[in-house]
């Protein structure tokens, strides 16, 4: 077909027709219309020159300027181009009110969905718990919220967050954080999680120091406080230090905690009061509250209200202060005497003030009568009149006094004993400060009252139970030394018997008294201060089914447990003198020195200088292992000599052999013939008489 100049060819017309019919398809195609069109190679007609008039001129895709104009994306724009296929001046849009509206025509949109991390959610949640705790001060609410939050596997992060938030606040919040950790310990957060949380905190010291200039010192104080509060064992510091790079600030934290806080004299009191103890009621505040409630009682005369106030104080261990202040007030204001005696009688009958607290209150006042007489001249006479009234009415134990003497004054039960108790308390307090056992033994010998040795033991353990683990460990170590030097086994037995007989009264002042007494008893057996048969003797002298008998049974179960020796030796943390690891190092060094020199006397003297007879089983164990490794019997000669001199008892020998027996499988990995060697050593020791037959 002939084509007219200036018009489209039939092929071009056909292509435009197809494009018009399939506009919808083209608009939704992944390819642009210009791309589709380019595939068909639409060309301008050939033959002749194109005219300048008519529609054909407008559709020529060639620049009028003669320059090549490249089409833009989707075929729209570009100088001298056709523009976008089927382009109109009106922008197309979807009208949702159109009767023909189809939701399927709506453009698709990808909606993003955030994947939540449980740890991130936990961290966000604990921030609000901590903020609320800092506002309300409610430990119970914080513990409840943490339990409800769940995710206990993330509790170490809670510890880190709590401390890091408190670090950037006032001392009040720092104290609150320490109190909360102590409250949550074991009940909500396990000891292992406490350790993990503090290790994470120490690890992050470098980052925290960027924002908080004194971060190292603050974290060190939190660490020391955790040790003092007994939620972290002292051994944690050494283990954490080994796991940290030497150049990190975490190591500086541990060094500061050890040297600046935990090694200082009276470090426990200093650390506890460093932040002011603002969340806990102080002794002075309790005394002020007691004075206020007694004055209010004098004005109102309402005994029930006064008892309620005493109960709300929540300091049953401090009720002796109520007794003392009530008696002083009765002496100062004679008109208030009937009211004070009525209050004390009512409190005793209700069981609000225990018998031991009542006696303690009277005893404290009796000890201070000379000073009180400076302000109240008739203080002694008034006190002499108050005591028989209290005894006759049944709210003061009659054992507080003896019958009146010739001068008519009440004689306190054994004045010598009372003086001895006062001296003993002073000696014990000095020992807790100095850790000087020889000085204490000399002080006891100067008192010249060996008949009161059981009373000294009772006082020692009672005072230790009301203190930290450091003092408990010191008391156990002192018992071992006293048993060697001046106390007989009978003194020890009688002292523990007195403790167990008063266990129920002690429990009123010290909530965990029964468990701690059981530990002291078991530790005494482990340290060879008492023999297992002594426990049976003590138990037989106590009434059945009493608190003391239950404590003895508990001690027996502790001793019978697997690896009881190691556990009980560390029950108080090994807080006095050398640490357990230090003692082991010294034992190893003295044995190595003996191995090289062969001087028996020097080795025995070194063992004696260790001053740890309760730990001599470690000497036995290490000596046997060294004998297996060196393949000679020189160590057996040392053990024989130690037994002959009484340096290592048969119980310690047996304990050392037993520890080797329990670890033979592990030893055999390094020493293939360990079992054969051990059998030979057992036979040799039993033949020589320094090992019990029970080892087999």
Same domain, 267 and 331: no
Quick check: is 371 in a domain?
yes
Q: Predicted confidence band at 22 (pLDDT cuts at 50, 70, 90)?
A: low
**Distance between alpha carbon 561 and the CA centroid of its chain, in Å?**
25
Of 91-105, 177-191, 354-368, 470-484, which gets the smallest average pLDDT?
Answer: 91-105
Please check the confidence at residue 187 and state whether its pLDDT lies above 80. Answer: no
| Bridge partners, 411 (sequence order) | 402
Quick check: is 227 in a domain?
yes
Same domain, 523 and 592: no
The whole-number pLDDT of residue 93 equals 64
Please check the confidence at residue 402 and state whether its pLDDT lies above 50. Answer: no
pLDDT in tens, 73-95: 455 555 555 555 445 444 456 67
The whole-number pLDDT of residue 23 equals 53
Please check the confidence at residue 162 and state whether its pLDDT lies above 90. Answer: yes
Please check the confidence at residue 403 and state whether its pLDDT lies above 70. Answer: no
Boundary of a domain, candidates 399, 428, 462: 399
Q: Which residues contact 668 (CB under 8 A, 6 or more apart)?
A: 674, 675
The whole-number pLDDT of residue 623 equals 92
**Distance between alpha carbon 117 and the CA centroid of its chain, in Å?**
28
Please check the confidence at residue 69 and state whether its pLDDT lies above 60. Answer: no
Please check the confidence at residue 163 and state whether its pLDDT lies above 90. Answer: yes
The whole-number pLDDT of residue 191 equals 83
DSSP H helical segments within 451-546, as ranges?
A: 453-465, 469-485, 489-501, 503-509, 513-526, 532-540
Quick check: is 593 in a domain?
yes
Quick check: is 32 in a domain?
no
| Bridge partners, 401 (sequence order) | 412
| Bridge partners, 189 (sequence order) | 185
Same domain, 124 and 258: yes
Stronger pLDDT, 40 or 424, i.e. the higher one:
424
Quick check: is 76 in a domain?
no
Please check the confidence at residue 624 and state whether its pLDDT lies above 70. Answer: yes
The whole-number pLDDT of residue 106 equals 64
Question: How far is it, in rounded angstroms, from Cα 82 to Cα 370?
Answer: 119
- Dihedrals φ, ψ of 277, to 5°? 55, 40
Helix (H) or strand (E) holding 261, with range, is none
Boundary of a domain, candidates 226, 254, 273: 273
Tell me if 684 sits within 8 A of 678, measured CB to CB.
no
Q: Give the number of domains in the chain.
A: 4
Tell me if 647 sits within 8 A of 604, measured CB to CB.
yes
User: What's the alpha-carbon Rg for the chain, to the nearest Å?
Assistant: 44
The whole-number pLDDT of residue 67 equals 46
Same domain, 542 and 434: yes
Same domain, 436 and 287: no
Same domain, 124 and 249: yes
| Bridge partners, 402 (sequence order) | 411
The whole-number pLDDT of residue 515 equals 84
Question: Whole-number mean pLDDT of the chain?
Answer: 78
Please check the confidence at residue 166 and state whether its pLDDT lies above 70. Answer: yes
Please check the confidence at residue 520 and state whether its pLDDT lies above 80. Answer: yes
Same domain, 606 and 493: no
Bridge-based pairing of strands 401-402 and 411-412 is antiparallel
Helix (H) or strand (E) holding 621, with range, is helix 616-630
Same domain, 310 and 250: no
Stronger pLDDT, 215 or 630, i.e. the higher one:
215
Where residue 158 sits, what CATH number does that domain have?
A: 1.25.40.180
Question: How far is it, in rounded angstroms, from Cα 267 to Cα 281?
Answer: 20
Q: What is the mean pLDDT of residues 367-372?
A: 76
The whole-number pLDDT of residue 279 equals 44
pLDDT in tens, 213-268: 888 989 999 998 888 877 888 888 888 888 888 888 999 999 888 888 887 666 77
Same domain, 243 and 350: no
Q: What percent of the chain has pLDDT over 90?
A: 10
C-alpha atoms less than 13 angstroms from C-alpha of 583 in its C-beta half-sphere: 22
Quick check: is 300 in a domain?
yes
pLDDT in tens, 283-334: 567 778 888 999 999 889 898 888 888 888 776 667 888 998 999 998 888 8
3-state class (DSSP) for residue 412: strand
Cβ-based neighbour number of residue 546 at 10 Å: 14
Boundary of a domain, candidates 399, 420, 444: 399
Distance between the two ends of the chain, CA-based, in angstroms? 122
Q: What is the mean pLDDT of residues 573-601?
A: 75
Same domain, 176 and 248: yes
The whole-number pLDDT of residue 241 equals 87
pLDDT in tens, 410-446: 445 456 777 788 888 889 988 888 777 878 888 888 8
pLDDT in tens, 101-146: 666 666 656 555 555 677 888 888 888 899 888 888 888 888 888 8
Same domain, 342 and 428: no
pLDDT in tens, 443-492: 888 888 888 999 999 999 988 888 888 888 889 889 988 887 789 889 99
What range defines the domain where residue 648 resides?
Answer: 580-688
Quick check: is 268 in a domain?
yes
Same domain, 129 and 260: yes
């Amino acid at each position: 077909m002939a084509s007219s100049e200036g018009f489209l060819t039939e092929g071009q017309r056909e292509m435009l027709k197809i494009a018009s019919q399939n506009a919808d398809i083209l608009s939704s195609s992944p390819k642009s219309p210009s791309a589709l069109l380019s595939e068909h190679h639409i060309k301008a007609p050939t033959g002749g020159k194109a005219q300048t008039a008519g529609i054909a001129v407008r559709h020529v895709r060639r620049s009028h300027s003669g320059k090549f104009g490249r089409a833009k994306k989707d075929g729209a724009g570009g100088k001298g181009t056709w523009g976008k296929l089927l382009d109109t001046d009106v922008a197309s849009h979807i009208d949702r009110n159109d009767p023909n509206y189809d939701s399927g025509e709506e453009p698709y949109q990808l909606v993003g969905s955030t994947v939540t991390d449980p740890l991130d959610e936990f961290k966000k949640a604990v921030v609000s718990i901590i903020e609320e705790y800092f506002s309300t001060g409610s430990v119970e609410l914080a513990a409840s919220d943490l339990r409800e939050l769940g995710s206990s596997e993330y509790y170490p992060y809670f510890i880190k967050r709590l401390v890091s938030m408190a670090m950037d606040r006032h001392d009040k919040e720092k104290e609150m954080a320490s109190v909360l950790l102590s409250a949550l310990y074991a009940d909500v957060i396990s000891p292992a999680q406490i350790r993990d949380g503090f290790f994470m905190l120490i690890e992050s010291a470098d980052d925290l120091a960027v924002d908080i200039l004194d971060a190292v010192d603050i974290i060190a104080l939190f660490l020391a406080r955790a040790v003092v509060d007994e939620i972290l064992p002292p051994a944690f510091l050494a283990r954490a230090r080994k796991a940290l790079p030497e150049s990190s600030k975490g190591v500086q934290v541990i060094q500061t905690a050890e040297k600046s806080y935990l090694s200082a004299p009276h470090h426990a009191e200093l650390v506890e009061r460093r932040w002011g103890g603002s969340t806990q009621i102080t002794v002075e505040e309790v005394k002020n509250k007691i004075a206020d409630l007694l004055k209010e009682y004098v004005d109102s005369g309402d005994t029930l209200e006064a008892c309620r106030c005493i109960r709300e104080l929540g300091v049953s261990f401090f009720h002796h202060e109520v007794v003392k202040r009530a008696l002083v007030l009765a002496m100062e204001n004679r008109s208030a005497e009937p009211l004070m005696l009525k209050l004390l009688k009512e409190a005793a009958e209700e069981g609000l003030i225990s018998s031991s607290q009542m006696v303690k209150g009277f005893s404290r006042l009796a000890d201070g009568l000379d000073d009180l007489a400076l302000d109240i001249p008739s203080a002694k006479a008034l006190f002499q009149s108050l005591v028989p009234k209290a005894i006759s009415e049944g709210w003061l134990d009659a054992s507080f006094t003896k019958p009146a003497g010739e001068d008519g004054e009440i004689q306190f039960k054994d004045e010598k004993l009372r003086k001895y108790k006062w001296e003993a308390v002073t000696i014990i307090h000095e020992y807790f400060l100095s850790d000087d056992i020889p000085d204490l033994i000399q002080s006891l010998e100067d008192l010249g009252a060996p008949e009161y040795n059981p009373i000294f033991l009772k006082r020692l353990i009672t005072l230790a139970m009301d203190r930290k683990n450091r003092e408990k460990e010191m008391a156990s170590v002192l018992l071992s030394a006293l048993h060697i030097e001046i106390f007989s086994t009978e003194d020890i037995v009688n002292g523990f018997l007195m403790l167990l007989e008063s266990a129920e009264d002690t429990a009123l002042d010290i909530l965990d008294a029964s468990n701690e007494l059981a530990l002291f008893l078991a530790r005494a057996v482990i340290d060879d201060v008492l023999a297992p048969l002594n426990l049976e003797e003590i138990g037989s002298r106590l009434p059945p089914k009493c608190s003391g008998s239950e404590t003895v049974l508990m001690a027996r179960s502790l001793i019978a447990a697997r690896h009881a020796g190691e556990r009980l030796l560390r029950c108080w943390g090994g807080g006095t003198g050398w640490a357990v690891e230090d003692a082991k190092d010294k034992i190893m060094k003295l044995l190595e020195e003996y191995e090289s020199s062969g001087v028996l006397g020097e080795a025995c003297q070194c063992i004696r200088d260790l001053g740890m007879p309760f730990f001599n089983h470690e000497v036995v164990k290490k000596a046997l292992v060294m004998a297996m490794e060196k393949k000679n019997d020189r160590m057996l000669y040392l053990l024989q000599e130690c037994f002959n001199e009484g340096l290592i008892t048969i119980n310690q020998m047996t304990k050392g052999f037993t520890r080797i027996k329990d670890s033979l499988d592990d030893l055999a990995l390094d020493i293939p013939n360990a079992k054969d060697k051990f059998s030979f050593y057992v036979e040799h020791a039993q033949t020589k008489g320094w090992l019990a037959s029970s080892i087999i």
